[in-house]
Amino acid sequence: MDLPLLSACFAAFAITLYVLLDGFDLGVGVLLLFQKSDVARNHMIDSITPTWDGNETWLVMAGITLFTAFPIAYGIIMPAFYIPIIVMLLSLGLRGVSFEFRVQMKKLKHRWDFVFGVASLIASLMQGLIVGGLLQGVQIEGQRFSGHVTDVFHTLPLVTSVALVFGYAVLGSGWLIFKANIVIQKFARGCIRVASIRLTVLFCVGCAYAASVQPGVHSAWIVHAIPLSAILILFILVGGGVATGTSFGVSVLPFTFGLLLFLLGISGLSLIFFPNIIPFRMSLWDAASSPASQRFLLTGASLVTPMVLAYSAFAYWVFRGRTPEKGWEQ
Amino acid sequence: MMKLDAAILARTQFAFTVSFHIIFPTISIGLASFLAIMEGLWLKTRDAIYLEIYRFWLNIFAMAFGVGVVTGLVLSFEFGLGFARFAQIAGPAIGPLIAYEVLTSFFLEAGFLGIMLFGFDRVGPRLHFAATCLVATGTLFSASWILAANSWMQTPTGAVYQDGHMVVTSWLHVIVNPSWLYRLPHMISAAYLTASFLVAGVGAHYLLRAKHLAFARKSVALGTAFASVLIAGQIFIGDMLYGTMLKHQPAKMQAAEGFWEKESASPAPYYWIIVPDQKNQRNRFAWGTPYLGSIWLTHSLHGREEGLKNTPTNLQPIMGMTFYGFRIMYCLAIVMFGVGGSSVWLRWKGRLFESRWFLRTLVLMTPSGIVATLAGWYLAETGRQPWVIYGILKTVDAISPVPAKALLSTLIGFVCIYMVFMAAFLFFTLRLIRRGPQQLTLNAEASGSLKNALRPHLLDKRVFEGR
């Protein structure tokens, strides 16, 4: 059995779940910055209250899987993205706290809403920087990161980070259209149009630009010409569809389309990166820990993950349907 | 201006974030088991006072748990952020232990913390008690995995160094390494002692102000009873751990006792205060109790103790940090032992709730468990230096290729934001203590959020609505 491949699948699974799940609540957080009404902001936050922190669990799962199964890659990626990762972690922590403080300190609520929005925005931007930094390529020498921590602040990562914010905004608006009251739905429809146009444009720009600056991306386009083109065309179709509002008849559709956009993006990236774990430089197998470690990890993961999934699904089921006007606590 | 040293900054950052983090699991491990006992006692006796105690500490437990989660998230990435080489070498050995900690503790938390915090009215007392017990078990699992990983770094067994990373030959030996067997009970009973002194301290605070008397008496009675039993056990476990570490890491214990000479004078004093001069391998100043060193350390009147010069200078830990880590922990243990003994005496005399000097001491001792735990960790971690994996990898060789400026900026960021967390935790905890136990209902309100931890407002709302 190809253990590193299995571990990589598990890591990819954890990352995908993280991006899809935390994506929409980060998106809702970003949208708070554009919502002037206090009551509306309360309702928006209520819509993500029950589930947002369970979503973050997957980030830890992904990080520790990388640490265990691909320690070489973990030891390169962490220093390479030192600044975005720490800023992201601090933003996520601050976001978690402001989530609670906004209700605690009623007089300063709007300030905390602002902190919540900005922390969501910064965390999203940082995640986008990491994606772009990987696409751009990481300098290594042997098993060591040999570039500079500021390498990630270049054009391509900046494009992807802004694109990811719009992507999360699409997910967040989709979620609000699905879960929130009429007033917020109207607001979210406006947001999703704006965000999905920009996302689609930036996605195309990012594709073209990545191919021009990174030979690895260029050659991936040649090797996987058909699937990658198909992904790009589908992305434009779905993104355009969301932007023109054709999907608004059924309330769950915009959110589903948002998820689909992310799945397309992630499959594209996987095609480009595979079989490398440090894109274009180091393969899964070169970065893998010994079979004993992989086997031990995979045994635990395969036993416990189904239970975690079952619980998470249950939590979503408990809080199904529209968000109550006065929050879940009624 | 002092030149910035990346290795020192990386270590400072890790030390700061991990020190800050450990405070909260220590509280939540201790309180989780305490809560399970309280709820069990309530189910058995149906005495409402136990329920009141349960309610009161549930909220503080939840907050400590929440801060622990947020700061723990950072640590799982920090192995690689600051210590990339360490991550690459040790990942195959300790990575799975941490992955199992994530898997087992997340599973139990995710499943049962929500019920514990919000589910009392929905699931009934028995199932709720089961949830409390499972959460307590989860905290113990979590501690076991983390202690296994850290103990492996202290006494690495079951793996061999091959081509730049560890290859595990026996998971049993990686997990059940020689120091884990003593360090795990040592840490767990430290957490229990922490909780006992928190409980007793808050009770004493109320007794001194003649408030919430029934609650206060029960808290003092329970807290001191647990503390008396635990401290005796803790000193016993600590002594065994001392022997183990003397065997595996002699340099740590040499530094911890403050002797430099290959053989100390006979009879050896027991030093309480030293001003070590690492460069010249001597103490500028040392003050101790004559004979006590020989008696305690060698169990004879004239025995000699080995000093740090037995370890080559390039493999020595910094004596000052290790010595004071040990002394602070040890002196607090002695005081705790005194408090435990006094409580037994006062209980016998029937004056446990009247003796004001004793109650004042208890109030002072409220944070003693936390301070002693931190000091103990300083002993363990600074005494292991210059190694990060003892005998295999030096700390200076483990750090990431990250420039000092970046490390300094993020360190400042961590300090600022963690201060906000600490301020919030203290603010809400002190407010809960000030408001007292009777104003609380059993549930935090349901919202399904696990980090409701940081949401005491829910309780406040109930207070206003309910009265």
- Rounded-to-integer distance, Cα B213 and Cα B198, Å: 17
Contacting residues of B for A64, CB less than 8 Å apart: 76, 95, 98-99, 102
- Please say if the pLDDT value at position B444 is more than 70: no
Contacting residues of A for B79, CB less than 8 Å apart: 67, 74, 78
ipTM of the modeled complex: 0.85
Write down the pLDDT at residue A160. 94
Q: Does B76 contact A65 at a Cβ distance shorter than 8 Å? A: no
Contacting residues of A for B114, CB less than 8 Å apart: 315
Q: Do A31 and A176 touch, CB atoms closer than 8 A?
A: yes
Q: What is the mean pLDDT of residues B346-360?
A: 89
B21-51 pLDDT, tens digit each = 999 999 999 999 999 999 999 999 988 889 8
Contacting residues of A for B171, CB less than 8 Å apart: 292, 296
The residue ranking higher by pLDDT, B34 or A278, is: B34
Contacting residues of B for A305, CB less than 8 Å apart: 103
φ, ψ of residue B390 in degrees (nearest 5): -55, 120
- Please say if the pLDDT value at position A101 is more than 80: no
Question: What does DSSP assign to residue A150?
Answer: G
Write down the pLDDT at residue B68. 85
Q: What is the mean pLDDT of residues B210-239?
A: 91
The owner of tokens 């809400």 is B428
Write down the pLDDT at residue A53. 67
pLDDT band at A125 (very low <50, low <70, confident <90, very high): very high
Q: What is the mean pLDDT of residues B70-99?
A: 89
Write down the pLDDT at residue B445. 42
Task: Report the SS3 class of residue A22.
Answer: helix
What is the percent of chain A where pLDDT is above 90?
38
**Nearest CA to CA, how far is B371 from chain A (Å)?**
25
Contacting residues of A for B95, CB less than 8 Å apart: 64, 67-69, 71, 289, 293, 297
Contacting residues of B for A319, CB less than 8 Å apart: 448
φ, ψ of residue B178 in degrees (nearest 5): -55, -35
The owner of tokens 């990388």 is A66
The full set of domain ranges for chain B reads 6-258+307-466, 263-304
Write down the pLDDT at residue B443. 47
Scanning B170-199 for CB atoms below 8 A from A yields 171
Name the residue of chain A whose CA is nearest to B453's CA. A100
Q: Does A329 contact B89 at a Cβ distance shorter than 8 Å? A: no
Of the candidates B81, B86, B136, B82, which has an alpha carbon nearest to the alpha carbon of residue B108? B136
Task: Report the SS3 class of residue A42.
Answer: helix
What is the percent of chain B where pLDDT is above 90?
40
Scanning B398-417 for CB atoms below 8 A from A yields 400-403, 406, 410, 413-414, 417
Q: Do B395 and B386 touch, CB atoms closer than 8 A?
A: yes
Of B88, B447, B448, the CB nearest to A143: B88
Q: Do A173 and A193 touch, CB atoms closer than 8 A?
A: no
- Please say if the pLDDT value at position B2 is more than 60: no
Of B165, B450, B454, the CB nearest to A100: B454
Q: What is the mean pLDDT of residues B318-341?
A: 93
Write down the pLDDT at residue B277. 87
- Rounded-to-integer distance, Cα B167 and Cα A293, Å: 8
Question: What does DSSP assign to residue B397?
Answer: G
Candidate from B129-138, B250-259, B302-311, B394-403 with smallest mean pLDDT: B302-311
Of A79, A104, A293, the CB nearest to B168: A293
Write down the pLDDT at residue B283. 85
Q: Does B111 contact A311 at a Cβ distance shorter than 8 Å? A: yes
Of B80, B84, B447, the CB nearest to A328: B447
Residue A254, both tokens: 């915009």
Could you tell me if B10 lies within 8 Å of chain A, comparing CB atoms?
A: no
Which residues have C-beta within 8 Å of that of residue B99, sequence separation ≥ 6?
A64, A65, A67, A68, A297, A300, A301
Write down the pLDDT at residue B461. 39
φ, ψ of residue B166 in degrees (nearest 5): -80, 135
- Rounded-to-integer distance, Cα B19 and Cα B26, Å: 11
Scanning B134-173 for CB atoms below 8 A from A yields 164-165, 167-169, 171
Q: Does A78 contact B84 at a Cβ distance shorter than 8 Å? A: yes
- Rounded-to-integer distance, Cα A251 and Cα A241, Å: 14
pLDDT band at B452 (very low <50, low <70, confident <90, very high): very low
**CA angle, residues A65, B187, B170, in degrees to nearest 5:** 45
Write down the pLDDT at residue B419. 92
Scanning B104-123 for CB atoms below 8 A from A yields 104, 106-107, 110-111, 114
Q: What is the mean pLDDT of residues B131-143?
A: 90
- Please say if the pLDDT value at position A103 is more than 70: no
B263-273 pLDDT, tens digit each = 877 788 888 98
Q: What is the mean pLDDT of residues A65-81?
A: 91
Contacting residues of A for B146, CB less than 8 Å apart: none
Strands (E) across B213-356 are located at: 270-277, 282-289
The residue ranking higher by pLDDT, A308 or A75, is: A75
Write down the pLDDT at residue B391. 87
CA–centroid distance for A42 within its chain: 24
Q: Does A79 contact B446 at a Cβ distance shorter than 8 Å? A: no
Write down the pLDDT at residue B446. 39
Which residue type occupies B460?
D
Q: Does B77 contact A89 at a Cβ distance shorter than 8 Å? A: yes
Contacting residues of A for B98, CB less than 8 Å apart: 64, 67-68
Candidate from A43-52, A131-140, B201-210, B351-360 with smallest mean pLDDT: A43-52
Candidate from A30-44, A100-114, B166-180 with smallest mean pLDDT: A100-114
Write down the pLDDT at residue B451. 40
What mean pLDDT value characterizes chain B? 85
Q: Do A9 and A248 touch, CB atoms closer than 8 A?
A: no
Could you tell me if B421 lies within 8 Å of chain A, comparing CB atoms?
A: yes
CB contacts < 8 Å between A and B, how many? 209
Query: Which phi-psi region, left, alpha or beta, contains residue B318 (left: φ > 0; alpha: ψ -120 to 50)?
Result: beta
Q: What is the mean pLDDT of residues A291-297?
A: 89
Q: Does B448 contact A49 at a Cβ distance shorter than 8 Å? A: yes
Name the residue of chain A whose CA is nearest to B459's CA. A104
Write down the pLDDT at residue A167. 94
pLDDT band at B136 (very low <50, low <70, confident <90, very high): very high
Strands (E) across chain A are located at: 140-141, 144-145, 276-278, 282-283
A217-267 pLDDT, tens digit each = 889 889 988 999 999 999 999 888 888 876 566 788 888 899 999 999 999
pLDDT band at B366 (very low <50, low <70, confident <90, very high): very high
> DSSP states of B106-163 as a string?
HHHHHHHHHHHHH-HHHH-HHHHHHHHHHHHHHHHHHHHHHHHHHHHHHS--SEEEET
What mean pLDDT value characterizes chain A? 86
- Please say if the pLDDT value at position A42 is more than 50: yes
Q: What is the mean pLDDT of residues A43-53?
A: 77
Question: What does DSSP assign to residue B306?
Answer: B
**Nearest CA to CA, how far is A178 from chain B (Å)?**
19
Residue A69, both tokens: 């199964």
- Rounded-to-integer distance, Cα B324 and Cα B372, Å: 11
- Please say if the pLDDT value at position B439 is more than 80: no
Report all structural domains of chain A as residue ranges with CATH numbers, in order of start.
3-318 (1.20.1630)
Q: Do A172 and A27 touch, CB atoms closer than 8 A?
A: yes
Candidate from A38-47, B44-53, B313-322 with smallest mean pLDDT: A38-47
Q: Does A145 contact B164 at a Cβ distance shorter than 8 Å? A: no
- Rounded-to-integer distance, Cα B257 and Cα B236, Å: 18
